[in-house]
Structure 1
Amino acid sequence: MEELGGTKIHSEVSGVADVVGSNDEDCLLQIRKLLSYLPASGLQTPPRTSSVDDPDRLIADMEDLVPEDAKKPYDVRNVIRRLVDSEDFFELKPKWARNLVSGFARLNGRSVGFIANQPMFLAGSLDVDCSDKAARFIRFCDAFNIPIITLVDVPGYLPGTKQERLGIIRHGAKMLYAYAEASVPKITVYLRKGYGGAKQAMCTREMGADQLFVWPGVELAVMGAAGAVGVLYKKEIEQAANPEQTRLEKLDEFTEKFSGPFEAVAKQYAHSAIMPAETRVRLIQALEMLESKQEDRPRKKHGLMPV
């Protein structure tokens, strides 16, 4: 029975289960905690609690949690915990589609939903399962008027024939649709990189982000600077007297011209470049600004979600 449809199957393989309790009592406690983030119905706003955590708290060690090298992994859950009230993060589906993290927390007492790429698994790339995971969570938050905060560090979609045959285009579109459909406040923070079409899937301004912040050193491009330079300047580098020196010069030139936080702000891809230490403060300020957000959309029966 366990292999047919037990706890392990539905929490790690099928993605049906959101949370697994160690026993009946633990299960009830986790249900109670989940409900604490939600309003009584979708017609109400989420409950706000008093917070003992300073809303103006700066996080001096935030830069240490995210390596500068875009290829080095780190646990994004540590970043989330440092941002939220009392480092209390309630993760959903933690063992399924582990290349993306989703869950609830509070910022200055407000309920918020977090979605983040997880570089510890598949380098944080997007695939079929994590697209479904994100789409469901986004719609969950939107149904109960919970603001969505998206932390981005994505190298692209997971390549390969397996993903194509599983329908990554259709499943990936669910995530895009869910973000575009959601009318709750949407705040996006680029931690390190956003490449290719996966960047759009992580709630850019075009997809409806109300506030979009970028950290120093961020790369926003069709592909990574190293890969782009290798393609665009291949002949010039090979024919140079000092190929390595030429490669490094082209790398700096490409990064300055086509990526980086100030380029993102100048081209209006982002609203503001911020320091990692002030991320919590800026998120709380953005939530306060967007508290009365309302969207006036055309009346219709429903959209056509790519299910």
Structure 2
Amino acid sequence: MIEGGGLGIVAPTEIGPIETHTRNGVVDIHVANEEEAVVAAKKYLSYFQGPLATWSRHDDASLRTLIPEQRTRVYDVRTVIQTLADIDSVTELRPTFGIGIITSLVRIEGIPMGVIANNPAHLGGAIDADASDKASRFIQLCDAYDLPIVSLCDTPGFMVGPEAEEHAQVRHFGRMFVTAASITVPWITIVLRKGYGLGAQAMAGGSFHGNAMTVAWPTGEFGGMGLEGAVRLGYKKELDAVTDPAERAELEASLIARAYENGSALNMASHMEIDDVIDPAESRQRIRAIVGDYVPWRQRPGKKRPMVDTW
């Protein structure tokens, strides 16, 4: 077809390589052979068939040690997902596309759910255009089959700057908000660390107040943007007025410390900006309390959504 259309001569091996189509998000799950494909397909379809009667879980207390106390240390959020979910119940979709957000089908106490999570190992958890598209399509998939959504938020916000604008960031970022506004399944947000800016609001389904529940682990921190940058911009006049470098650094450090105190999870909860600060070991219990009993999507007459986007 390529050669017949006058588009040049291309070797057959250059068309449709799996590396290309996993990287660009065409392929959801990459397997090595037909046997693995059958296993993956059965597991994938099982999430849409209802809860399991038997399941096993990790020790809830192990969730307490997964987020480093040093707030600048990176951690593997996939470990958080695996520990939160039932053992061997996680299926990650499109892992090499839109890597700033991880999308996984999971089970919690046998109930199928969808998890979206910021990836702090990529852009510090910032959300770019591909990650927005990946999350938006996954949200549609969960809603179409009545799978509750658990959002693990740790983001400094949406990716900004000239390069981000080249990728039509506003259109892609806006898709997350529009998609979240169209769903009816429970949306539960757990802020693991950073809950900054509009990116955090997108991870909360549009608003910390508009979903089924927004809670934070004790490591949670909140702000309109990164707090160091907010201090340097908001207090620029005061900082510039201090001529001694040591005094200026001391003043900046004290202002940043105060910003972190004001933006702490406990302070946010005390002002009812979020529902609660919870012991990480309580996360599964809180999720199940909100989700309640599973309601089979087949009990609904007709389709809930006319389609799930292909992109």
**TM-score using structure 1 length:** 0.85
In structure 1, the partner of 2:40 is 30
* 1:134-163 C-alpha deviation (Å, 9 max, x unpaired): 010000000001100000000122223232
AA at the equivalent of 1:3: E
**SS of match in other structure, 1:223:** coil
Q: 1:3 to 1:68 in 2, by over 3 A?
A: farther
**SS of match in other structure, 2:95:** coil
* Structure 2 residue runs without a partner (length 5+): 1-11, 297-304
Task: Assess if the C-alpha contact under 8 Å between 1:128 and 1:168 holds in 2.
Answer: yes
Matched, 1:9 2:20: yes
**SS of match in other structure, 1:86:** coil
- Aligned pairs, how many? 285
AA at the equivalent of 1:124: G
* 1:219-262 C-alpha deviation (Å, 9 max, x unpaired): 211112222222223343451773333223222222223x1112
Matched, 1:155 2:156: yes
In structure 2, the partner of 1:120 is 121
In structure 1, the partner of 2:107 is 106
In structure 1, the partner of 2:53 is 50
Alignment equivalent of 1:218, drawn from 214, 217, 220: 220
Please state how far the C-alpha of 1:53 moved relative to its aligned partner: 2.8
Q: Distance in 2 between matches of 1:91 and 1:141?
A: 13
Alignment equivalent of 2:273, drawn from 251, 264, 269: 269
Q: Distance in 2 between matches of 1:146 and 1:50?
A: 17
Q: How does 1:287-298 map to 2 (within 5 A)?
A: 287-288=291-292
Task: Assess if the C-alpha contact under 8 Å between 1:205 and 1:269 holds in 2.
Answer: no
* 1:83-104 C-alpha deviation (Å, 9 max, x unpaired): 1111531100011111110011
Matched, 1:179 2:180: yes
**Bigger CA radius of gyration:** 2
In structure 2, the partner of 1:85 is 86
In structure 2, the partner of 1:196 is 197
Please state how far the C-alpha of 1:20 moved relative to its aligned partner: 1.2
Structure 1 residue ranges, 4+ long, deviating more than 4 angstroms after superposition: 289-292
* Structure 1 residue runs without a partner (length 5+): 40-46, 293-300
**TM-score using structure 2 length:** 0.84
In structure 2, the partner of 1:18 is 28
Q: Distance in 2 between matches of 1:218 and 1:66?
A: 10
Q: Distance in 1 between matches of 2:14 and 2:273?
A: 47
Task: Assess if the C-alpha contact under 8 Å between 1:2 and 1:9 holds in 2.
Answer: no
Q: Distance in 1 between matches of 2:99 and 2:52?
A: 30
AA at the equivalent of 1:282: R
In structure 2, the partner of 1:244 is 249
In structure 2, the partner of 1:44 is none
**SS of match in other structure, 2:61:** coil
